Amino acid sequence: MTNLFPSISTLLSKRIIAIFGHYGSGKTEIAVSLAMLTARQTQPYQKCALIDLDIVNPYFRSREQRDMLKKAGIEVYGSVYNTEITAELPALGANARVPLEDKNCLSIVDFGGNDVGAMIMNQFGKYFTTEDALLLGVVNANRPDTRTVEGAVQHIAAIEQSIGKTLDALINNSHLLRETTAQTVIQGHAFVQQVAQACNKKLWADCYPEELVQKKQLTPLLESGSTLLPLGLYMRPTWLDK
């Protein structure tokens, strides 16, 4: 794999990477992709964990990809209940704290959607310190609520209010699932930059689905110094797009 997410070890400067965002922003896909990328180069950490703290959405959670991640050497932490989907239990096992306590573990934390889904961070608040954690907000410019700068800023503010912390930076993950084109990513970049300016944050990275968009199609972004994060489309069953 030659086009690895560049300088991942410098970007992942903190040992806890927390991913927040509105519904449909693509938090889970980013969390799984980041975990798969970092599994190959976790230094200086000895292990990599994906913590699924999504208790608001019973479908399409990263726990479903547990087997694939396990094979890649990533431990997945989340609900301890195997019957979780039917039981609809918004419950998490205490084991979600294990990687957060472990200074040798790089943890990628996937929160549930919107301010409601982010709220769960409060019970784990002590781990998400400025020193240890990077708090990222994902924006997809093609969702109804976040098509305007005002709407996106409102969502970010609501998440920050819900967790009582400020997000460090934003991720542009403007996409239309398998209909995503280079144009979708480029237009999204310009939009999320405006959002970032409006809330005084940096744009941390631009995501693109590797299967659908080639890195060279995103030259304008590369030239402007953006960090490009390739995503696998791990969460969507292939047959849905037949």
Partner 1 sequence: MSEKVLMKGNEAFGEAAILSGCNFYFGYPITPQSEIPEYLSRELPKRGGCFIQAESELAAINMAYGAAAAGGNAFISSSAPGIALMQEGLSFMCCAEVPVVVLNVSRCGPGIGGIQPGQADYIQATRGGGNGDYKIPVFAPSTIQEAIDMIYEATYLANKWRNPMMLLTDGMMGQMMEPVVLPEPRKLLTSEEIPQAKPWALSGFDHKNGQRSLIRALHMQPTDLEIQVEKIFTKYDAMEKELPAYAAEGLEGAEIVFVAFGLMSRLVREAIEMLAEEGIKAGLIRPKTLWPYPYAAFDELDFNSTKVVISTELSKGQMIEDVRLGVEGRLPVELIYRTGGVVPTTPEVVERAKKILEGLK
Applying CB under 8 A, what is the total number of residues that bind partner 1? 29
Candidate residues 142, 162, 172, 226; the one interacting with partner 1 per rule CB under 8 A = 142
Task: Tell me if 81 contacts partner 1 by CB under 8 A.
Answer: no
With CA atoms as reference, report the closest residue to 72 among 44, 47, 99, 36: 36
State in angstroms the smallest separation of the CB of 136 from partner 1: 20
Task: Tell me if 57 contacts partner 1 by CB under 8 A.
Answer: yes
Task: Tell me if 86 contacts partner 1 by CB under 8 A.
Answer: yes
Task: Tell me if 191 contacts partner 1 by CB under 8 A.
Answer: yes
Task: Tell me if 151 contacts partner 1 by CB under 8 A.
Answer: no
Beta bridge partners of 134: 17
User: Closer CB to partner 1, residue 8 or residue 56?
Assistant: 56
User: Closer CB to partner 1, residue 71 or residue 242?
Assistant: 242
Under DSSP, the state recorded for 178 is: B
Candidate residues 1, 13, 126, 144; the one interacting with partner 1 per rule CB under 8 A = 144
Rg from Cα positions in the chain: 17
Task: Tell me if 1 contacts partner 1 by CB under 8 A.
Answer: no
Candidate residues 92, 184, 218, 231; the one interacting with partner 1 per rule CB under 8 A = 184
State in angstroms the smallest separation of the CB of 4 from partner 1: 28
Q: Quickly tell me which residue has 């943890």 as its tokens.
A: 107
State in angstroms the smallest separation of the CB of 225 from partner 1: 23
Q: Angle between the 149-163 and 182-198 helix axes, to the nearest 10 degrees?
A: 60
Candidate residues 60, 70, 93, 198; the one interacting with partner 1 per rule CB under 8 A = 60
Task: Tell me if 199 contacts partner 1 by CB under 8 A.
Answer: no
Three-class DSSP category at 191: helix
Residue 92, C-beta contacts closer than 8 angstroms, at least 6 positions apart: 53, 55, 78, 79, 80, 120
Other Cβ atoms within 10 Å of 241 Cβ, number: 10
And the tokens for 136?
């990222």
Candidate residues 176, 197, 198, 224; the one interacting with partner 1 per rule CB under 8 A = 176
Per DSSP (E only), the strands in 140-233 are: 169-172, 202-209, 228-231
Candidate residues 9, 95, 179, 214; the one interacting with partner 1 per rule CB under 8 A = 179
Give the per-residue SS3 of 83-105.
Answer: CHHHHCCCCCCHHHHHHHHCCCE
| Interacting residues with partner 1 (CB under 8 A) | 23-24, 57-60, 85-86, 88, 140-144, 147, 174-177, 179, 184, 187, 191, 236, 238-242
